[in-house]
Amino acid sequence: MKMTLEEVAKAVGAEADYSQWQNNIVTSVTFDSRQLQPGGLFVPLVAQRDGHDFIESAIQNGAVGSFWQKGHAHAPVDFPLIEVADTQAAFEQLAKYYLHKVNPRVIAITGSNGKTTTKDMIAAVLATQSNTCKTRANYNNEIGVPYTILSMDTNTENLVLEMGMDRPGQLHKMSLLAEPDIAVITMIGEAHIEFFGTRAKIADAKMEIIDGLKADGTLVFDGDEPLLRERVPEEVQTRTFGQHEIDDISAQAVVAEKKQTTFVASPWPEVQFSVPLMGAYNVMNALAAIAVGDLIHVPSKQMAGALAEFKLTAERTEWVKAANGADLLSDVYNSNPTAVKEVLKNFTAIQTNGHRIIVLGDMLELGAQSAELHASLAESIQPQQIQTVFLIGKDMQALYHALQDRYSEHQLHYYSLADKALLTVDLKDAIQPDDMVLLKASHGLHLEDVVAELQASN
């Protein structure tokens, strides 16, 4: 990025004369004063903390200017401020301006599961052909999307944006900002059902991703999901992926191993695809990436090479070693019933010389159905396949009660959130070097702390 403060001011419709700052060059934009670099524009957002309170920190870190909400007290003296009615709105306006200026192809991705994995896969596939920028970490909301747009280099040709949501209207706003050329919906699950009530209403909200889709744009979606098929407007171009021949792109000959899954994708029977991840469910994410790559005319062999080597964002289905040598499958960033059942199915299919142990924490935002949905995981947990079960969190009590008739008190353990340290101690005592351990929960439980403790030497 390289913009004068005067250009920034004009982009957001600031009324005053900012021509005296035409030599002030903005090279980056951030809302976090701690991350600000020399040449940065500071955006003081008003949320749980008021960003205006951190203007001095931004100045000390080298800010060349800042947005400032009109009428806000304690404005700094002798520092370039661009007065706006609303700093969040100005943030979005500037992102829209910069997006049009760079003019990349935009790929927007949403879904109840697999958004981040699919984002990483799509970015890897497209990077084989052209300069590609993608959402970093979990910057996938109304703040993260404009931040990602403003973080891209001026030579970006493909911009891959992850879009999350937990309420109606959220994706509508982000889609109108991003104006995607390609929109991707990975799947419809129970994530955030607390706020929507039914999967059908979740599907309605996910379809908002096409609200800003360009007239000649394409929607890529899971063709095996009736809730999506029945909601696609006739005038929207589509490309479907799935497990059936009716889908435009489908998978056959799936072989799931501990750290790799291979498959063949129709219509390329001569190419074997591979992803460095456990789980047949990751094939669906790969098919979405292949569908996008095919739309952009990436050769199938190049797509296969990119998927075999792509790098996954941390804390998602990652194999790591415990200090004693046991294998830990860390999947602690998010969780919902569909995701847990899929990972359990694949985890129990992997051969081991030791025991299989699972550590499951609460799945958040399931609302009135939470107890029932937690208890429903019992159908995927059997003593013949999983020898020891550790559960943590208020809602996991429902699963604990559902498993008591098939597990002894030595095999089944329950902890409140306050007892996470005790859980860690008991796990260290229970895990043997040949064991495999799955840890999965919503990120709010921070089971990554448990993973780190298991990896640390005593």
What pLDDT, on the 0 to 100 scale, is given for residue 316? Answer: 67
Indicate the angle between helix axes 420-430 and 448-455, nearest 10 degrees: 40
What pLDDT, on the 0 to 100 scale, is given for residue 197? Answer: 78
pLDDT of 93 > 90? The answer is: yes
pLDDT of 21 > 90? The answer is: no
Domains of the chain by residue range? 3-85, 103-309, 318-455
What pLDDT, on the 0 to 100 scale, is given for residue 135? Answer: 96
| Banded pLDDT at 198 (limits 50, 70, 90) | confident
Q: Are 113 and 57 in contact (CB under 8 A)?
A: no
CATH code for the part of the protein at 318-455: 3.90.190.20
What pLDDT, on the 0 to 100 scale, is given for residue 192? Answer: 66
Query: Could you read off the pLDDT of 264-314 as tens digits, one per residue?
Result: 999 999 999 999 998 888 999 999 999 999 999 999 999 999 999 998 876
Query: Could you read off the pLDDT of 53-90 as tens digits, one per residue?
Result: 999 999 999 999 999 999 999 999 889 999 999 999 99
Q: Which CATH superfamily is domain 3-85 in?
A: MurE/MurF, N-terminal domain (3.40.1390.10)
- Decide: helix, strand or coil at residue 156: coil
What pLDDT, on the 0 to 100 scale, is given for residue 457? Answer: 67
What pLDDT, on the 0 to 100 scale, is given for residue 33? Answer: 94
pLDDT of 245 > 70? The answer is: yes
- In the numeric block, which tokens belong to residue 210? 């096409």
| Banded pLDDT at 458 (limits 50, 70, 90) | low
What pLDDT, on the 0 to 100 scale, is given for residue 315? Answer: 61
What pLDDT, on the 0 to 100 scale, is given for residue 28? Answer: 97
- In the numeric block, which tokens belong to residue 245? 């021949």
Average pLDDT over residues 230-250: 95
pLDDT of 194 > 80? The answer is: no
Q: Cα angle at 453 between 447 and 458, to 5 degrees? A: 165
Give the CA count within 13 Å in the CB-facing half-sphere of 287: 32
Task: Record the pTM.
Answer: 0.86
- Averaged pLDDT score across all residues of the chain: 93
What pLDDT, on the 0 to 100 scale, is given for residue 405? Answer: 95
Query: Could you read off the pLDDT of 432-443 as tens digits, one per residue?
Result: 999 999 999 998
Q: Which residues of 289-326 are buried (b: 16+ CB within 10 A; e: fewer)?
A: bbbbbbbbebebeebbbbbeebebbebbbbeeebeeeb
Alpha-carbon torsion (107, 177, 172, 312), positive or negative: positive
| Banded pLDDT at 46 (limits 50, 70, 90) | very high
What pLDDT, on the 0 to 100 scale, is given for residue 138? Answer: 83
pLDDT of 367 > 90? The answer is: no
pLDDT of 16 > 90? The answer is: no
- Decide: helix, strand or coil at residue 192: coil
Average pLDDT over residues 14-39: 88
Percentage, residues of the chain above pLDDT 70: 98
CATH code for the part of the protein at 103-309: 3.40.1190.10
Q: Can 103-309 and 318-455 be said to share one CATH topology?
A: no
